Chain A
């Protein structure tokens, strides 16, 4: 585990890192990004 990961985890555990709603929305897959859509057409 890298030091950066360790520190990020510590930050997360302390409830510090939450994404703003608009950023969180961009990190959600689009509607047609369901698993089936990754299969070969």
Chain B
């Protein structure tokens, strides 16, 4: 077998491996039903319905970037729409892959569409997943129909987060428009933070949008019906989100991206201190996140500090 053939086989195995996920709730520390209502499908005890909103946090460094991007903090960085088809739960989501490229920013090399994955697969790649029921006045059948239609017409993924242009859609833009198809008002996009360091990176990525639709803006007025996490208990999820919020609060206009992330050949990485802070945060009550940040990240009260205590 040639080297090229071996690489192709290895890639195919990795690809298919990701598709062969079978969810086992007992392997999850949190697999909580938070609603008494009955659903269209009983998914390992979760009452699911077509048209529900699925939001998540992968725990990856780039997912944290999504939480830090807007002026308002959002715990979740990704969103999709649930659809029950032939007795099985699927999520429709805007998703892109990065193709090998030789010049320009990675956003130019991202290609994707609105795709359909099983809920099992979706959950497997997330650190925290939550399912929300839109408010009662939203027609969930219309929400799911919109999602399926955008998948069928091959709507492309928008790596530039251009909200006014709905020809291509990013994940939360797609979910917002789906909910709007069911009667939910469009969310007000959240302004991108006025941070010089962030602006340098976004300019390179050609992301010039002044505002973005966040997953947090989609959950307003919706009822959380399920919370799922393999590694964290429900209390730890709350503490983890509080820690991320504390990072968001500290990432003020004068902060450099380099205080949180660094770059290696593997891509964007969290600085060890930030990673340790997020890991440690889950061990403590969420109300202590600010004090814990002082312990792990330092207070930096000197006037020229970029990590100044607020």
Contact = CB atoms under 8 A, between A and B. Distances in A.
A27 B262 contact: yes
Contacts of A40: 294-295, 298-299
A7 B100 contact: yes
Contacts of B125: 2
Contacts of A19: 204, 263
B301 A26 contact: no
A38 B297 contact: yes
Contact of B101 (A1, A13, A16, A20): A16
Interface of A is mostly: helix
Interface string B291-310: 00011111111101111000
Contacts of A16: 100-102
Interface string A1-33: 111111111111110110110111111111011
Given A3-B18, A29-B256, A38-B296, A11 B262 contact: no
Contacts of B14: 1, 3, 6
Contacts of A14: 100
Contact of A12 (B266, B297, B302, B306): B266
Nearest to A33: B259
B197 interface: yes
Given A30-B259, A37-B298, A8 B266 contact: yes
B300 A32 contact: yes
B265 A12 contact: yes
A8 B200 CA distance: 21
B159 to A, nearest CB: 13
23 contacts: A5-B267, A6-B11, A8-B266, A11-B98, A11-B100, A11-B101, A12-B266, A12-B267, A14-B100, A16-B101, A17-B106, A20-B204, A22-B200, A24-B263, A26-B201, A26-B256, A27-B261, A30-B306, A32-B305, A32-B306, A33-B259, A37-B307, A38-B297
